[in-house]
Amino acid sequence: MNIKRDVGMLAVLAGVLGSAAGAVHAAEPTKETAEAPRETIVLKKGEHRDLTIPGLTRLSLGDGTVADIRSMGGGTVRVSGVGPGYTMLFVWAGDARHAYRIVVK
Which residue intervals of the chain are DSSP H helices? 3-27
Judge contact between 50 and 78, C-beta under 8 A: yes
40 and 10 inside one domain: no
92 and 102 inside one domain: yes
Are β-strands 39-43 and 85-93 bridged in parallel, bridged antiparallel, or unpaired?
unpaired
Sign of CA dihedral 84, 61, 31, 56: negative
pLDDT tens, residue order, the chain (105 aa): 444 444 444 444 444 444 444 333 334 444 444 568 889 999 999 999 999 999 999 999 999 999 999 999 999 999 999 999 999 999 999 889 999 999 999
Residue 34: per-residue pLDDT: 55
13 and 61 inside one domain: no
Q: Which amino acid belongs to residue 53?
A: I
Domain with 87, as residue range(s), is 35-105
Residue 67: per-residue pLDDT: 98
Rounded CA gap, 44 and 103, in Å?
A: 8
Judge contact between 43 and 80, C-beta under 8 A: yes
73 and 105 inside one domain: yes
